[in-house]
Structure 1
Amino acid sequence: MVVTDENPSAAPVTVPVAPKRRLPGWARSVLWAVGVVAVLSTASYLTGVNTLTSTNTAQIALRLALPILLAGLGGLWSERSGVINIGLEGMMILGTWGAAWGAYHGGVWAGLGAAIVFGALGGLLHAVATVTFNVNHIVSGVAINLLGLGVAKYLSTLIFQPLSGNPRQSPPVPTFDTYSATFLSDWLSGLEQQQRVGISDAAGLLNGLVTGVAPLTMIAILLVPLSYLVLWKTRFGLRLRSCGENPVAAESLGISVYRYKYVAVLISGGLAGMGGAALVLLAGGGGYLENQTNNRGYIGLAAMIFGNWRPGGLLGGAALFGYADGLRLSGGGKAVLALMYGLVLLLVVIVVVQLIRRQWLAAALGVLGAGVLYWIYWANDDLPSDLTPYTAHFVTLIVLAAASQRLRPPRADGARYQSGQR
């Protein structure tokens, strides 16, 4: 700010203006969580659909969100080093086969280890193509997806068919045991049964997160803060991210760009393989099945983009997609319609905020979207069963369209690089 004296000949005095203080990331996450629970609670009360905030819905949503979360973390590691990884789907497919093969011969932990190895092998192939031979990242990723599907089908026919009698699936394999925080779970169940608006809804959602939790679930959730600490708080992470921002400058400082890219893509493949293992080794899995991933690798990539290439945002995106899919399974078409009503309430809040900020176009688009969703809710008593399986995919498109204006990918993401270039 520049302040001048009444004397026109006086020199202007510059007074520094303190920058606006922003809430820390964890505080914004808490506010978002509270807002989402409030919207779901209101929609549940107004529509009479208790499935929106039930324990069963939260449990299913958590289980379905894990493969998406792990695939998204794999994409995060790869793209922070500057390598686009469209091949997450193929690496997940290899992980599902490896998990079933390892678990059949050595138990759940052997299955998890085999899934990581098979996924990392897919990542290694992608790294060789993109880093060493400078193949276009999209082309290589598509090839990995096709190769992963073909290799898993061939190995299943070769190894699983004599055991199960079906070339498209493995024999039953063990799954992870689950554990519950008994005292906390009983208390939350009591609150949920009291049917208090807001309190019972929050209790139902929290109860689903502490009941029937597998070790793989806890590992996957812990990988989110661990990835943040490694990538943003260590020297290794700083160097890896510098390869995705400006590899030429990174090499000029003595950083081995090739080595960091290889490590990142290998970790990416291993995490995607873990996502495949979550489909096989958690409750509801129990074996390999052809087309088991059902495009979750692509949804994981969308969750990563929605999270703006950051672990915290990625966690929110994976939770959103997992919840949309879990709600379909637990409540059917009526529950999905109730979710649309909740989205209408959320859009109304967003429109008010946009009007306060005088962003007229965004407010108009929000009104239009809310009107369309409310018309769908009002005109239908139940959604057709042919449409409900694609709920998560529709949510993916809507969310990416809404988030596309604030994205900031790594500057050199997908750029071809050769050592020594200037």
Structure 2
Amino acid sequence: MTTVISKPADGGAVPPAPRRTKKLPGWSKGLIWVAAVIAALSAASYMTGVAQLTATGTIQTALVLAIPILLAALGGLWAERAGVINIGLEGMMIMGTWGAAWAGYQWGPWAALVAAAIFGALGGLVHAIATVTFGVNHIVSGVAINLLGAGLTKYLSTLLFQPVSNNPRESPPVPKFDTYSAQPLSDWLGDLEDMQRVGLSDVAGVLRGLVTGVSPLTMLALLLVPVSYLVLWRSRFGLRLRSCGENPVAAESLGVNVYLHKYAAVIISGAFAGVGGAALVLTPGGHPGYLEGQTGGRGYIGLAAMIFGNWRPTGLLGGSALFGYADGLQLRSGGSTVMALFYAAVLVLFAAAVALVFTRKYFAAGLTLVGAAVLYLVYWSVDEMPSQLSTYLPHMVTLVVLAVAAQRLRPPAANGEEYRRGRGH
């Protein structure tokens, strides 16, 4: 078989076919970002003399605080991939904290985990009935779930916890999960960290924080990230579920039971959020049990982590790590260390601006340099961030990250839209 190449009518040369450049896979881009962030933290730690940026204790605290956010973000991912906006993650987390404390006090941490998933799933069921069956606005229903979760747990705490703890706002102490460390790897990494070598000790501190004092709940939460990816992107059920969030009418025409998949997604979403609430109760080193207001807006931050991750499991993992790290840094080290984080952010923004120049995105590079200059001015003029502001560092990071990431977001096409069987657009 011969291939005939036609010549242009004017007799000119045939233009060469454009070369196809191979794109890096998503996981490799993630590894590049991780390496860049660790390099920036290492450089900032060396230049500012603040070793806490990459210390084992900081990473351990960040991991513990990131897990509830990660589970809430996974819950949001499941719901919104099916086309249902779940603002009610906060209320489902609250219900999960109460369920975990109630069952954990009587039967131990594993029973607490199951009860938290059930209580969160019940909140998801209510949200699904309101939005999928009755067509209630998703935002309105989510806000109502948040109010319902807070009010219901307050009533149940007064009814069941007050006679035992003598306080309607908290439960009696709940048994926690044991923690495990990877020995002798942890000791070897500790020796490297104590050497205080630039770069090497920073990497050792980060790795040691990830393999020391890890609870089974942390392992389960991290495992749910690849499991969610495999189910949603590599299974028939996941393909049908995601089609309900992209074009439910087309999915219906192909025989997909859209109502069933939306219900399943929102109930699973609630279960994940409930387990995220259980992480606040069952994590060693935290509050002894349930405490009113314990979630502290982590359901909303989890929703922000999901959006930052562009509705992808690996992306929301990075967002959860970022918010957990910011929260853990201010809790463990205080305002002076937070200012060192500003210095690291300046380095990251400067590197991003250089990369944008090489890709000829000069306007974006200029804006990035302006942001870096503003952050450096803040770092240079303020010695220590006031405690009143550092407490809300995760929330400020949430706003900044969402503002920066807003231009590249691609939510499911039919997310938040009302669906009725047999009706086209």
TM-score normalised by length of structure 2: 0.96
- Give the Cα separation in 2 of the matches to 1:123 and 1:36: 36
Q: Is 1:90 aligned to 2:105, yes or no? A: no
1:362-395 deviations in whole A, cap 9, x for unaligned? 1222122111111111111111111110010110
- Give the Cα separation in 2 of the matches to 1:382 and 1:53: 19
The number of aligned residues is 419
Where does residue 405 of structure 2 map in the other structure? 403
Amino acid at match of 2:423: Q
Q: Is 1:361 aligned to 2:363, yes or no? A: yes
Measured at CA, do residues 7 and 222 of structure 1 come closer, stay the same or move farther in structure 2, by a change above 3 Å?
Answer: same
CA contact (8 A) 1:175 1:285 kept: no
Where does residue 125 of structure 2 map in the other structure? 124
- Give the Cα separation in 2 of the matches to 1:33 and 1:15: 38
- Give the Cα separation in 2 of the matches to 1:83 and 1:326: 31
- Give the Cα separation in 2 of the matches to 1:354 and 1:240: 37
Taking only the aligned residue pairs, the percentage that are identical comes to: 65
**Structure 1 position 194, deviation (Å):** 0.5
1:46-76 deviations in whole A, cap 9, x for unaligned? 0000000000000000000000000000000
Q: Is 1:176 aligned to 2:206, yes or no? A: no
- Give the Cα separation in 1 of the matches to 2:116 and 2:90: 13
Where does residue 252 of structure 1 map in the other structure? 253
Where does residue 293 of structure 1 map in the other structure? 295
Where does residue 69 of structure 1 map in the other structure? 70
Matches within 5 A, 1:195-274: 195-274=196-275
Question: How much is the aligned-residue C-alpha RMSD, in angstroms?
Answer: 1.4
- Give the Cα separation in 2 of the matches to 1:6 and 1:410: 43
1:386 to 374, 385, 388: 388
In structure 2, the gaps of 5 or more residues are none
CA contact (8 A) 1:306 1:313 kept: yes
- Give the Cα separation in 1 of the matches to 2:15 and 2:379: 57
CA contact (8 A) 2:8 2:14 kept: no
**Structure 1 position 30, deviation (Å):** 1.1
Where does residue 349 of structure 2 map in the other structure? 347
Matches within 5 A, 1:43-58: 43-58=44-59
Question: Which shifted more, 151-160 or 345-354?
Answer: 345-354
Q: Is 1:21 aligned to 2:9, yes or no? A: no
- Give the Cα separation in 2 of the matches to 1:396 and 1:103: 32
What stretches of structure 1 move > 6 A for 4+ residues in a row? Answer: none
TM-score normalised by length of structure 1: 0.97
Amino acid at match of 1:207: R
- Give the Cα separation in 2 of the matches to 1:86 and 1:361: 35
- Give the Cα separation in 2 of the matches to 1:388 and 1:275: 24
- Give the Cα separation in 2 of the matches to 1:32 and 1:238: 29
**Structure 1 position 356, deviation (Å):** 2.1
**Structure 1 position 8, deviation (Å):** 2.1
**Structure 1 position 4, deviation (Å):** 8.0
**Corresponding residue SS for 2:388:** coil
- Give the Cα separation in 2 of the matches to 1:141 and 1:361: 38
1:290-339 deviations in whole A, cap 9, x for unaligned? 00000000000000000000000000000000000001111100110000
CA contact (8 A) 1:344 1:373 kept: yes
- Give the Cα separation in 1 of the matches to 2:51 and 2:389: 22
CA contact (8 A) 2:193 2:201 kept: yes
1:96-115 deviations in whole A, cap 9, x for unaligned? 00000010111000100000
**Structure 1 position 77, deviation (Å):** 0.1
In structure 1, the gaps of 5 or more residues are none
- Give the Cα separation in 2 of the matches to 1:45 and 1:209: 21
- Give the Cα separation in 1 of the matches to 2:78 and 2:320: 16
- Give the Cα separation in 2 of the matches to 1:211 and 1:158: 39
Amino acid at match of 1:241: R
- Give the Cα separation in 2 of the matches to 1:152 and 1:143: 14
- Give the Cα separation in 1 of the matches to 2:49 and 2:295: 33
**Structure 1 position 16, deviation (Å):** 4.5
